[in-house]
Structure 1
């Protein structure tokens, strides 16, 4: 069995559509994904019912969940709806392994999300470092590092 036959069979068995990133990346819905983006295996981008945008030159590690939907209120019986909110990941963002990006999140360009971080539905400024659970945002953490790198060139 060649790679294309395997991908076809795998897609048929799992409902994971083939994609340009990795055979074990699950893309559900129609997210807008920029150019030169890497998404590692076992990651999920769930974009049904909301706008999910991933900018250019992003690096999304393995085992990352980017999910616009939250069904906990429906599950426990306090709502009949699933909450779906937009997600924006601007250009040049790194998202570490085992992170979760929740609906409503807006991650500014040149930011880093550390491994294992749960990003809540808030606006994160450019050049930030986001770490932990609960998340902590270090605004502008990479701004001076970027400026210094440009001076060295």
Structure 2
């Protein structure tokens, strides 16, 4: 069995539709994913019912969840519908392994989400370093590093 036969059979037997990234990446809905994007295995991008945008040149590690949906209020009887909120990762964003990007997050270009970080709703400025749970944002962290390495 060659790779394309395996991918077709795998998609048939699971809920993982074939995608351009990895057979074990789960794409739900119709997220807008830019050029030159890498998404590692066992990651999920859930754009069902909201706008999810991943810009160009992003690197999403393995075991990452980018999920626009939050069903906890519906599950415990406080809401009738699942809450779905847009997510934006601008160009050149790195997301470390085992991170979660929740609905309502907007991550500015050239930012890094450290491994294991839970990114809550809100705007994160460009060139930021985002760490931990609860998340801590170091705005401009990588802009400083770029200027330190500038030979001019």
Q: How does 1:84-95 map to 2 (within 5 A)?
A: 84-95=84-95
Q: CA deviation at 1:105?
A: 0.1
What is the CA–CA distance in structure 1 between the aligned matches of 2:81 and 2:64, rounded to whole Å?
Answer: 25
**Gaps spanning 5+ residues in structure 2: where?**
none
Q: Secondary structure at the match of 1:106?
A: strand
Task: List per-residue Cα deviations over 1:85-128 (Å, max 9, x = no partner).
Answer: 00000001000000000000000000000000000011000000
What is the CA–CA distance in structure 2 between the aligned matches of 1:133 and 1:127, rounded to whole Å?
Answer: 20
Q: Secondary structure at the match of 1:45?
A: strand
- Counterpart check, 1:137 vs 2:124: no
Equivalent residue, structure 2, for 1:23: 23
Q: TM-score, length-normalised on structure 2?
A: 0.97
Equivalent residue, structure 2, for 1:55: 55
**Gaps spanning 5+ residues in structure 1: where?**
none
- Counterpart check, 1:152 vs 2:118: no
Q: CA deviation at 1:15?
A: 1.9
Greater than 4 Å deviation, 4+ residue runs: none
Q: TM-score, length-normalised on structure 1?
A: 0.97
Q: CA deviation at 1:144?
A: 1.5
What is the CA–CA distance in structure 1 between the aligned matches of 2:41 and 2:20, rounded to whole Å?
Answer: 11
What is the CA–CA distance in structure 2 between the aligned matches of 1:61 and 1:152, rounded to whole Å?
Answer: 31
Q: Secondary structure at the match of 2:62?
A: coil
- Counterpart check, 1:124 vs 2:124: yes
Equivalent residue, structure 2, for 1:68: 68
| Number of positions where the alignment pairs a residue of Structure 1 with one of Structure 2 | 152
What is the CA–CA distance in structure 2 between the aligned matches of 1:152 and 1:103, rounded to whole Å?
Answer: 39
